[in-house]
Amino acid sequence: MRSGDPGERPHGDDLTDEATYEHVRFPSRRGLLRLSAGAGLTAGLSAALGPPPAAAATGIVKPLPPELFIPQGTNAEMRWEAMRGQGYLTPADRFFVRNHVATPLVDARTWRLRLWGTGLRGAPTEDRPVEFTYEDLLRLPAEEVTAFIECTGNARGFYTSQQGQEVSGTPWRLGAVGVARWRGVRLATVLRRAGVTPEAVDIMPRGLDAEFVDKGENLGRVRRPLPIAKAMKDALLAYGMNGAPLPPDHGHPVRLVVPSWAGIASIKWLGDIQVADEPLFSPWNTRYYRLFGPGHPEEGSAPLTRMNVKSAFELPWDASLPARPHVLHGRSWSGNGRIRHTEVSVDGGRTWRRARLRDRHPGPRGWVRWELPWRPGRPGRYELLARATDETGATQPATAPYNTLGYLFGAVVRHPVTIT
């Protein structure tokens, strides 16, 4: 980061960490509780701006064959067996879909990215923003980043099925994650061209999907604040995915990619970005995407950012396998950085063996593939377990701490198989 850039501060606090940042930008927890209770009030602004006429809701656009996906309401979960033999990246045809409402169809020819707010020179307003066309972004220096995007509730279903705890939200197993090679323009580049000032503290990216209604309350279009430090550090305005233009379900024409952070930060179908010299709030960083329940404050934890460590087998759930030698394959990932090692148990956790990591130099924002030979004994039921340790020393625990919304399940998952 250049000296004098927004987001750079004279003290040593890491302002790309939301938990640290919250104390800097909004020290009053009582005030935050009031904001959390009334977060839906900001829906009026979203409704006033509204999506451009080019956006039309059409559900999920791509085919969802049952051998690739598990339907989850407005979402689609990837089947892990569909990744077997697919290489490092998740193909777009099997990348999971997380929609609050429906996929909009947005015409790149008429699309505009609008930036406005008090954190820009001249404080452009929402009716007189700084605008970038799709072609404008294509002319700017392009970068590529290989990174996973993961729903914060990935593996939520195991709170109930494995730990016997009731949670709300989509009951994902482990298929709400994917790794892609994203191509686009650094958000920092566009913010500088738009005139970001040293006083900017927050940005608020907002999507072009329809307004989200929860229990009869209109919360407006999906939007979530991002600290300016993180925005300037490594966020990408992506228009490409795995060497092709973004598909509609994954954010066409442009989405935000915020590496290593919860998927909600990577807003799809990006329409506008508010840049502010004061803290910004929305339901997606007050009402949702915090930890609530026993052991947490009434207003919840700090907003969730980095994802935790997880592992998955490239096997069908409750797979049936013949009684012969097998090579078990899987993948592990972490929002903290590279995976150091993965251990596998084929006897329900009584003994563990190190798996062979197949990717010798994986990037810090993706996953690592691994394999382990297994010669099962007699026919019958088995539980396969995989646990990873990342470069910070964080290891998957036996159980996940409970929270009512079922976020961040990072415990070792017990994967059932039957040997016939």
Mark whether 382 and 352 lie in a shared domain: yes
In this prediction the pTM is 0.89
Domain that holds residue 411: 309-419
pLDDT of residue 16: 55
Q: Which helix (H) or strand (E) segment is 230 a member of?
A: helix 228-233
Mark whether 324 and 206 lie in a shared domain: no
Mark whether 299 and 314 lie in a shared domain: no
Among residues 246, 270, 303, the one where a domain terminates is 303
Among residues 279, 303, 327, the one where a domain terminates is 303
Token pair, residue 2, equals 């250049």
CATH number, domain with residue 112: 3.90.420.10
pLDDT of residue 360: 86
Mark whether 257 and 298 lie in a shared domain: yes
Mark whether 403 and 285 lie in a shared domain: no
Distance CA 249, CA 306 (A): 23
413, 334, 318, 323: which is closest to 368 by C-alpha? 334
pLDDT of residue 58: 47
Mark whether 154 and 174 lie in a shared domain: yes
pLDDT of residue 120: 98
List per-residue pLDDT tens for the chain, 420 residues long: 333 444 443 333 455 555 555 555 554 444 444 444 444 433 333 333 344 434 444 499 999 999 999 999 999 999 999 999 999 999 999 999 999 999 999 999 999 999 999 999 999 999 999 999 999 999 999 999 999 999 999 999 999 999 999 999 999 999 999 999 999 999 999 999 999 999 999 999 999 999 999 999 999 999 999 999 999 999 999 999 999 999 999 999 999 999 999 999 999 999 999 999 999 999 999 999 999 999 999 999 999 999 999 999 999 999 999 999 999 999 999 999 999 999 999 999 999 999 999 998 889 999 999 999 999 989 999 999 999 999 999 999 999 999 999 999 999 999 999 999
The Cα angle at residue 52 between residues 47 and 53, in degrees rounded to 5: 115
The count of structural domains within the chain is: 2
Mark whether 244 and 296 lie in a shared domain: yes
Among residues 303, 337, 356, the one where a domain terminates is 303
Distance CA 358, CA 80 (A): 17
Mark whether 414 and 293 lie in a shared domain: no
Mark whether 250 and 130 lie in a shared domain: yes
